[in-house]
Amino acid sequence: MSDVEFRMPSLGADMDVGTLVEWLVKPGDRVTRGQVVAVVETQKGAIDVEIFDEGEIVELLLQPVVEVPVGTALAIYRKPGDESAKAPPATSAPVLPATPVAAIAPQPTSAPVAAPRGAVKAAPRARKLAEQLGVDLAQVVGSGPDGSITGDDVERAAAARTKGPPSGMRQAIAAAMTRSKHEIPHYYLLHTLDLDPALVWLEARNRERPIAARLLPIVLLVRAVALALLDHRQLSGHVRDGTFVPGAGINVGLAVSLRDGGLVNPALHDADRGTLDELMARIADVGQRARSGGLRASELSAATITVTSLGERGVDAVLPIIHPPQVAIVGFGSMRVRPWVDDGRIVPRRLVEASLAADHRVSDGHAGARFLAQIDRLLHTPEAL
Amino acid sequence: MSVQTKVHSIIARVAPNADLDGLRGDENLRDELDLDSMDFLNILIAIAQELNVEIPEHDYGAVRTLDDLIEYVEHHRDAD
CA atoms in the 13 A half-sphere facing the CB of A377: 8
Per the prediction, chain A carries an average pLDDT of 84
- In sequence order, what are the beta bridge partners of A76? A5, A59
- Given pLDDT bands bounded at 50, 70 and 90, which one contains residue A291? confident
Cross-chain residue pair A127–B34, CB shorter than 8 Å? yes
Interface test with B, best of A117, A154, A259 (most B CBs within 10 A): A259
User: In chain B, whose CA is at the least distance from the CA of A312?
Assistant: B36
Q: Pairing state of beta strands A35-42 and A17-23?
A: antiparallel
Helix axes B3-14, B37-51, angle to 10 degrees: 140
- Considering only CB atoms, A148 lies closest to which of B19, B32, B42, namely B19
- Considering only CB atoms, B19 lies closest to which of A123, A211, A312, namely A123
Tens-digit pLDDT profile for residues A219-277? 999 999 999 999 999 999 999 888 999 999 999 999 988 776 778 889 999 999 999 99
Cross-chain residue pair A121–B19, CB shorter than 8 Å? yes
3-state secondary structure of A28: coil
Query: Would the pLDDT of A102 be above 50?
Result: no
Higher pLDDT, A130 or A14: A130
Chain B residues touching chain A at CB-CB below 8 Å: 15-19, 21-23, 30, 32-34, 36-38, 41-42, 44-45, 48-49, 54-58
Calpha distance A261→A191 (Å, rounded): 29
- Given pLDDT bands bounded at 50, 70 and 90, which one contains residue A14? low
Calpha distance B53→B61 (Å, rounded): 16
3-state secondary structure of A129: helix
ipTM metric: 0.90
Cross-chain residue pair B21–A123, CB shorter than 8 Å? yes
pLDDT at A288: 85
Higher pLDDT, B59 or A148: B59
Tens-digit pLDDT profile for residues A332-366? 999 999 999 999 999 999 999 999 999 999 999 99
3-state secondary structure of A76: strand
Tens-digit pLDDT profile for residues A106-145? 333 333 333 333 457 777 777 777 877 778 787 787 877 7
